[in-house]
Amino acid sequence: QVQLVESGGGLVQAGGSLRLSCAASGRTFSMYAMGWFRQLPGKEREFVAGISWSGGSTFYADSVKGRFTISGDNAKNTVYLQMNSLKSEDTAVYYCAADRRPGLGIRGDYWGPGTQVTVSS
């Protein structure tokens, strides 16, 4: 089992920046990839960004490409999401996810409880 916990959410003005962190514990050796999803008010959870631990490849949703950057620190078992040029449309609960094995995108074998990001316009 892998436990994930997010931090770094909060309230920010449009155009501002936030950095989210996701710390993993437990059987972290089993993680193949990690990433971020978000759930906008009244909508389904959607993919934001992902990173593979094996090759370091990163991938992003079109809606955040060029504004958000995902990175990881293997020594700390932590993944980050640097969010720049935030828009009101980015307001959501952001969830950290991890996968046990390769697959189509990030399945979310493990999930964190989420952290709220609110962008005021």
Structure tokens at 95: 């969830």
Q: Looking at residue 103, what is its pLDDT?
A: 82
Q: Looking at residue 30, what is its pLDDT?
A: 76
Q: Looking at residue 42, what is its pLDDT?
A: 94
One pLDDT digit (tens) per residue for the chain, 121 residues: 899 999 999 999 999 999 999 999 998 877 889 999 999 999 999 999 999 987 789 999 999 999 999 999 988 989 999 999 999 999 999 999 999 888 888 999 999 999 999 999 8
Residues whose CB falls within 8 Å of the CB of residue 27, separated by 6 or more in sequence, listed in order = 1, 2
Q: Looking at residue 39, what is its pLDDT?
A: 98
Q: Looking at residue 13, what is its pLDDT?
A: 98
Q: Looking at residue 35, what is its pLDDT?
A: 95
Backbone φ, ψ for residue 84 (5° rounding): -115, 165
User: Greatest CA separation found in the chain?
Assistant: 41
